[in-house]
Amino acid sequence: MADSWNDQYVTANGIQIHYVRHGAGFPLILIHGWPGFWYEWHKNIMPLAEHFDVIAPDQRGYGDTEKPDVPAVEGYNRHVRAEDLRCLADTLGLGQLAIVAHDTGSWVAQTFVIKHPERVPRLFLFNPPYPGVGDRWVRPDFLKNSWYMWFHQQPWAARLVGSSREAARIYFGHFLSFLSHDSHLFDEELDIWVDNFLKPGNLQGGFNWYIAMDGERRALAAGTQPKQPAINVPTRILWGENDPMAKTEWADRLGEFFSNYTLKWVPDTGHFVQYERPDLFNTEVIQYFASCGRKPGKGGR
């Protein structure tokens, strides 16, 4: 890990939030998923910082952000996390902001944009969960992939995974390998993930997302969840074609939930597009947000 990533802390929405910040210009927020923390963007932060004010926070429960001891359903749901994002932006004096989000972070981004569309001129998601997935996570032929969503809700799951360093290495090694097109992609950096998740509270902090989202996930599967309003903010979606947790056929309902989106498939790529294809990803993000912050007739930065 780099000697200095410009780690910063701020109190927002009642918790201390850790973030890494580089660059100048229009604010660009990077929202990680699971199994992740800010470092999943380390191949992207500096190239993007040549064009934007890049801010990569740890979500509540992850990394070096605070992990409040509150019931997960009330304290770790996507609405609370979206409020974390709003309070972080307000505390940092940001008005409009561009958002790039991955995996579970995409739920947070969607929630934020629905509540505050005037603050987000453009949205960028990749391999995103979204309501159109419906019951496909719980279908019998997919349970061999999605089992961990229920394992993480067991009251002893964090103690089991954290019972030894080797147990944590096996667990996170499995997911980083399984989710990537190249199963050895994370071999040299696995211990960075293990070190992070073995910090006090980080295993349970990450697992709390799955506890908090269980009711919504069940309602989506049963078809009883109120329909999420369509997102009208222009949205760019990259989708790794070999992601075992976000199948390509699951993009079939995007038009119901995003009224103005473009979709690009990324071949030979799994769940971590930003990590597996960083040059492509960085170029896509830079081009997509190039017009943000420009005043008409002024020519931009």
Measured CA distances, 138 to 73, 141, 142, 147, 168 (Å): 20, 8, 6, 9, 26
**58 a catalytic residue:** no
Q: Look up residue 214 and give its two tokens.
A: 């269980």
**39 a catalytic residue:** no
Cα 266 from Cα 270, distance rounded (Å): 9
Q: Which one of the listed residues 58, 103, 130, 181 is annotated catalytic?
A: 103
**271 a catalytic residue:** yes
Outline where 10-103 has alpha helix (H): 45-49, 72-75, 78-91
Q: Which one of the listed residues 62, 171, 210, 275 is annotated catalytic?
A: 210
Q: Where are the beta strands (DSSP E) in the chain?
A: 7-12, 15-23, 27-31, 53-57, 98-102, 123-126, 235-240, 261-266
Report the amino acid identity of residue 280: L
CB-based burial label for 175 (10 Å; 0-12, 13-18, 19+): middle
Cα 108 from Cα 241, distance rounded (Å): 23
Beta bridge partners of 137: none
CB-based burial label for 222 (10 Å; 0-12, 13-18, 19+): exposed
Q: Which one of the listed residues 18, 102, 181, 271 is annotated catalytic?
A: 271
Report the amino acid identity of residue 237: I
| Contact between residue 233 and residue 122 where contact means Cβ atoms under 8 Å apart | yes
Task: Indicate the pairing of strand 261-266 with strand 235-240.
Answer: parallel
Catalytic site positions: 103, 210, 271
